[in-house]
Structures are given as C-alpha cells and as structure tokens.
Chains A and B, each alone.
Chain A
Amino acid sequence: MDKIKKIYKKLTIMGKISLLIFIIFLIMGVFSGKIARFPHDNIVAASFVSPNKTHLLGTDDLGMDIFAQILYGARVSIGLSLFVAIVSTLIGASVGIVAAYYGGVIDRLLIRLIDVLTIIPSLPILIIISSFWGPSMKNIVIILVLLSWISPARIIRSKTLQLKEEPYILVAEYYGAGFLHLTRKHFIIELVPIILVSIIKLISRTIVSEASLSFLGLGDPTNKTWGLVLNFALGFQAIYFTEYWKWWVLSPLLAIILLVLAVAFLSVDLEKIANTRL
C-alpha cells in the first residue's frame, strides 16, 4: 500500500490525469450493465435520435443506444486488452528469462525468432491471419498475443542478462541454485516493475490493434467493441452528409483516443519511475 502511495506521488500531473481517465473507463467497463439504462444490443428507440436526457449520445441507425454501446465497448476493449497484455507479457517474460539464463543455442534461436517477428510489420500480418482464421474473439486474442510477446521478451531478456552478472546471483549459483530458484527468488522480484510497465504499454497497443481489426471488419461481429461501433457508423452511407456523425462516429473515436492516450502517458510515467528504482 505504501509503495502504491509512493508511486502515485511520483506521477506527473499528466500521469495523474491519465490515471483518473483510465480509472473512469475501467469503472465504466466493469459496471456497464448498471450504468447503462438501455441494453446495448437491442432497439430501444427510433433511429437517429439526437442526444437528449434519456439517450445521452443518441441512437444509431437501428435505434440502439450509443452510450450503452460505448459503455459495453469499454468493457470488451479493456477486458480484451488487459487479458492480451497480461498473457503476452507473461509469455514474453518466460521466453526472456529462459533465453537469458540458458544462453547459447537456446538464446540464439529465441533471439532470431524475436528478430524475425519484429521486422515483419504487424498490422498486415494481423489482417492476413485474422481474415484466414475468420472473425472470432478467440482468434483475435490468439493473434494479438502472438504479435505482442516480442517486445517484453526483448526487454526482459536484456534485464535478466544484466541481473545474471550480479554477484549475489553468482553467490546463489555457487550454493547450487538452479533456474527455478533463481527465477523465483531473484529474477522475478527485480523484473516486476518492468513487467508491470510492459503490461500497461501493451494495453494501449492492443486497444489500437483490436480497434483497427474491428474497424476493418475483421473483428468479432457479435461483440460490440469500439472499433466495431466505428465500423458500423462509417459503414452507414454518406454519414458525413448528416449530423449524426457528431455522436455516432466521434464518441467511439474519442473513447479510443482518450483511453490510448491516458494509458500511454501513464506508461511513460511508470517507466521512468521503474527505471529510477522503487
């Protein structure tokens, strides 16, 4: 608890605002069912109602409440990106530690794999794979994880390499410590800040990736993420000739931008703190 307070104090003003925004989105996502007065996937009013007291952001072409869709989209987007970020960071961390600890052939193989995956531009890959596998939540998660573990793996490998040279690790190895002991007792505790930062960084990346996929129509059509809302809105012919774009297009767009920016600012701040040691 003390540590969290300490970290909070070290945040810049931008960081604090970002944290607030992130928490608001988080609450929106978690309690979306309670906050929304209307279901997000049902026709509740006439089409194209302008924003008013009952429909804060109006309705779309089918008469579904947009505010409810944004709330629900927050849940899916944040949930999905958190899941992807955590899973891929854990995979990346394991790969990084294994590569650094064992070195030699294992290290060279893994590093080569990471290099290859880094060079290939990820969005085209995302598009190609997801169009092959077909749109489903599971596929999106797998694809995103596949492309996201690389950067944490890199960072954690180099940090572990550096740790490996610490005298206390040499001492522990002299006592006969193996991979498990060193990882559990020495590496993890030192890597926690890096792991946390890399999770947060991945969150914003994943939100954007997922939104792009959905926007391109490659997302899961049954789960209305912000990207999908945007996709539907822009799919409406000649939306810019009407005034509906102001709420139908802008609201998911702003939500994405706000959340991604907030998370990005937060991660920059946290990275600085992590680098100066807690």
Chain B
Amino acid sequence: MKNILLEIENLNIDYFDGETPLAATKDIGFSIFEGETLGIIGESGSGKTSIANAIMRILPANASVSGRISYKNRDILKMDDKEMKKILWNEIAMIFQNSLDVLNPLLTIGEQIAETLREHKSLKRKEAEDITKEYLEKVGLEKDDFKAYPHQLSGGMRQRALIAMGLVCQPKLLIADELTSALDAKTKSEILDLLSNLQKEFNFSLLLISHELDTIASLTERLMVLYRGQLLEEGFTKEILRYQYHPYSRGLINSSTTINVYKDLWGIPARKTLEEGDGCPFYSRCNQKIEICKLERPSLISLEASRKLACHQGGILEVLRGEDISKSFMNKNGQVRACIDCSLYIRQGEFISLVGQSGSGKTTLANILSGVLKKDSGSVLFKKENSEAMKLGSQLGGVQIVFQDPFSSINENFTVLDAVREPLQINKLEDQVEEKVKEYLSRVELENSTGYLARRIHSLSGGQRQRVALARALIMEPELLIADEICSMLDKSTEANILRLLKKLQNEEGFSMIYITHNLNVALKLSDRILVMNEGRIVESGNPVTIMKNPKDKYTKDLIRFNKKNELLLYD
C-alpha cells in the first residue's frame, strides 16, 4: 500500500467580494498517494484552481480557507511562512498555466529557474545554473535557451520552461493547472508525452487540473469530477471515461470531441430552474432530481472499490432493461425467430441506437420493449420493476413509441389538435389540453395557431406529420422514447431536420431514447451507445468509437466495410 502524501479534509474556500461570501469549494476531501497521478476535471468556475492555490497557499487576500490540508501529516494551513517556504518548490511545486504574465519579462528564463533553485535549495549561482541547464535539456529545450527572454520563446517552449521550473527542485508533488489548454494539438501531445515520461523518471505525485479530457486521460490514473466546488464522482480515470455514474460526469464527457469522434456535440443543457438550495449542486441542471436533491447535499460515498459518487439517486438511473427477450412468429414456411435472447439496458438520458438490416428483428424488439407486442419469453423491467402489468403507453412518464410511417400512424381525418391530444384524452389526463398541445407543437417546431390546430392531417406533408407524431408522443412526457426508423419515409433534408430536433429535445428534456435504424452513419452521429442486431440477436454493443475502431462481430465488420465502400464511391 502506498503512503498518503497529501490529504485534504473538509476544505472550504470562500471568496469575500462585498458582503456575502462566495463559496468556491464545499467540504472537499481527497488524498494523493506517493507517486500517484490524480486528475481533477470540471467546467470553468468549478473551483479547481482554488484547490490548487489553497495547497500552494497562494489564494488572494479576500479568500478564507477552512479545513485541513495535511502534507505528510502536517497541516499546511497552520504552517508559518518559514516552514511553508521550505515545503514550497522543494516538496510541492506547481506548473503554472502558460501565459506571458507568469514569467518575468525582464529576466531570462534560465535566471528565473535558477533563482527558484537558489531560493529554495540554497545553491550557489554556478551550481544552480548547471542544474537549470540539465533540466532545460530534460524538458526538450537547448542549453542555450538559458539566456532567452520569455518573449523570444514560443508558447510550447515557454510551457516547457515552466515545467522545468516546477521540477527543478525535485518536488514530491507537482500540481499542474490547465497545463495544455492554450497549446496547439501537436505541442500539446509533445508536452503530455514529456510530462508523462518525466513522471515515470522522477516518480513524483501529480495533481492535474484540467477541463480537457485528453490531457486527463493521458496523464492520470485516478480522476475526480468537480462541480461548483463539490466532488461528484471519483474513480479510476479509465473507468470513469468508460462508464459514468453521475449525470454531470456523463454530460462532461459527452461534450468532448476527444471521446466523441463521430457523435454530434451536445453540451450539458443550461439550468432549467433557478431554484437553488443547500442541496445537490447539480440540482438545477439535473434531469432526474427528486425532492431530497433540493434539500440535502449528497455526500461522496463509496460505490465499489475505488469508486465514489455523490448522488441521492445512486447515479444515473436505469430506465429500461430487457433480459433474454425472445419472440417468434409463425408464417407459411414455419417458425420465424424474430428475437433471440436479446438483453439490453438503457439509462436515464441515454441515447442508444439499434442498428440492423430489415428483418433483423429490431422493430420486433422495440415493440416488445414498449409493450406494443407480447414477448414469448424473457422480461422487461421499467425502472427496475416488471413492466408486464404496467401500461407504459398510457401514463405520463412512461414509454412512447413513434412509428416508421407517418402516413398511417395518425388518423388522416383527425385535425392536428385531435391527433396530438388523443393520448391525453384517452387517459383523461390534464385539464388545459389545448394549451399543452400548443406548447408541444411549438417544441417540435410546428405552428401553434388556432388555424393550424384545425388543419386535417391529410393536408400535411410527411415531415410535418412525423413532427405531429413526435408531439403526440412527447405530450405524454415519456421517460423513454422509442423511434422506429422515423425518417425512412422522409427525404434527406427533412430527415436531417427531424433528427436534429429530436436530439435537441432529448438533450434538453433529458428523456432516454432508443433509435432504430438501418443506417450506421446516422446512429454514429446520434448515439451514446450502439447495439448491432443481426438475425434476431444483438451481436455487438458499445460506444460509436469502439464499434468503429474495434468491431468484434462479422456482421458489424461487414456493415462498416459497406459504409467505407460507399464513401469511396462518392469521393473517388
């Protein structure tokens, strides 16, 4: 077992700007072990830098700090200046974010690095110079750069110089704050390699603060997710990147182009309610909040080995789970097995795609999951309860399904109003039906004038009809929306519009989606996860990148090959 190098307990940092204190962090607690690399990730303003500055004791004067930051069992916050000076740079050093004002423009970088050495290690000028030159070479600069002034160096070189400055006193703990955010891709990758090699060479502990996932992924073993001054999730970096428990972590990771090579970018939607409380910091943006989230702050508790989470709901909820679903039909040639032992799950706010050619059983599976069709065997759990007796389609917050053909899935003799309000009417929900219909029509970007409400469905185009079908499904406020090839009867431009609308609504309202398509490219653009179906079985599942980079099943490989072939046809 490694020793704890730095331990932080109940760290509260408040900034006083005028009368009311502004909390930068609330009851933060974590430890860094010797030789360990730990990342802190969060949006800007989440308090990452305040933590780093608190460890270095360089917070501005209007900040007040309480709690314990113990370095080798001594509380940094209680040390006097002399003790602190001994620790700084020698034991704990910081690589500052590269910007011109970090370095003194009047001194050469060599002088500035050597000065740190002389100050903290009490070395002679010559010794300091030699060591500085050695480190300049280690970070990939030339000995001659000793005499260079900051403005003579490029951004990447300055960042190297700053790394040299951080390492030159051979600290046990190195804090790097937004190390790479200002660098171009090539320099960034060089700097990351450099730091990674140096860390292996010197075996220092690294606390890496960043909002960039690729930096975090390449340098850290363990990761903490910080939001508005509170830790929401903690665990091994690889595991968090693969599977997130907290909705915020998921949103953060989904917003990254590094992870989502194929998918469209969608950030975490802005807060919906302005209600703030003493509860969960993510309350106002969360799509699965319950009463307690507003009142009480969730504490960071262990879920499994080395995984911690702060969420009253126990992390992202599971909306639907299907286990070993099988279904067969009889036709004149005998039995056709449409679904064979299909198992899948979908979590709150997740967008998954079922990809497969026609006849692969994806529509059957969708109909079984939604409850339209009865299964032969297996089980469907909605929010962990058996959905057999539940009428998922006739309740608010249930499951809704939108069908392929907008021309037959809505009664053509209906008016728009009749069509959209039908589910509410059948179940006698809602009093202000017309108001709600208008609201949802505008959500799906249709007119909501009285004239439009009275229009007959048969006078609408396919795209408009499909929007009406969407409004009708969404008016039931489903937790899960299943869309079965909803664009296959529409032209490409309408398809693009409808898909973007759908994804936008899904992102904003936070419902989960199962999208059924034969088009792998569409699935790549939309989904968090893709399930490939072939001959009634789910043959492969994974996120778009793993599916594309490392397809396991033969059918998936074929699918990708056909796609590649089509691309070449177009652009040769």
Contact = CB atoms under 8 A, between A and B. Distances in A.
B408 A168 contact: yes
A174 B366 CA distance: 13
Contact of B418 (A166, A170, A185): A185
Contacts of A186: 411
A237 B11 CA distance: 123
Interface string A184-195: 011001100000
Main DSSP-derived SS at the A contact region: helix
Interface string A151-186: 000000000000000111011101111000100011
A175 B413 CA distance: 19
A175 B426 contact: yes
A176 B399 CA distance: 13
A171 B425 CA distance: 14
Nearest to B457: A168
Main DSSP-derived SS at the B contact region: loop
Given A174-B371, A175-B393, A185-B422, A167 B409 contact: yes
Q: Report, as a range, how many residues of chain B touch the other chain.
A: 20 to 34
B371 A168 contact: no
Contact of A174 (B393, B411, B414): B393
Interface residues of A, number: 15
A190 B413 contact: yes
Contacts of B394: 174-176
A186 to B, nearest CB: 6
A176 B393 CA distance: 7
Nearest to B419: A168
A166 B394 CA distance: 19
Contact of A189 (B370, B371, B405, B413): B413
B401 interface: yes
A81 B423 CA distance: 41
Nearest to A169: B411
B411 A168 contact: yes
B427 interface: yes
A177 B393 CA distance: 10
A166 B412 CA distance: 11
B408 A175 contact: no
A176 B426 contact: yes
A166 B409 CA distance: 8
B422 A172 contact: yes
B526 to A, nearest CB: 23
A168 to B, nearest CB: 5
B403 interface: yes
Contacts of B425: 181
Interface of A: 166-168, 170-172, 174-177, 181, 185-186, 189-190
Given A172-B426, A175-B476, 8 more contacts: A166-B408, A167-B403, A167-B409, A168-B411, A171-B410, A175-B394, A176-B426, A186-B411
30 contacts: A166-B408, A166-B411, A167-B403, A167-B408, A167-B409, A168-B408, A168-B409, A168-B410, A168-B411, A170-B372, A171-B403, A171-B409, A172-B422, A172-B426, A174-B370, A174-B394, A174-B401, A175-B393, A175-B423, A175-B426, A176-B391, A176-B394, A176-B423, A176-B426, A177-B422, A181-B425, A185-B411, A185-B418, A189-B411, A189-B413
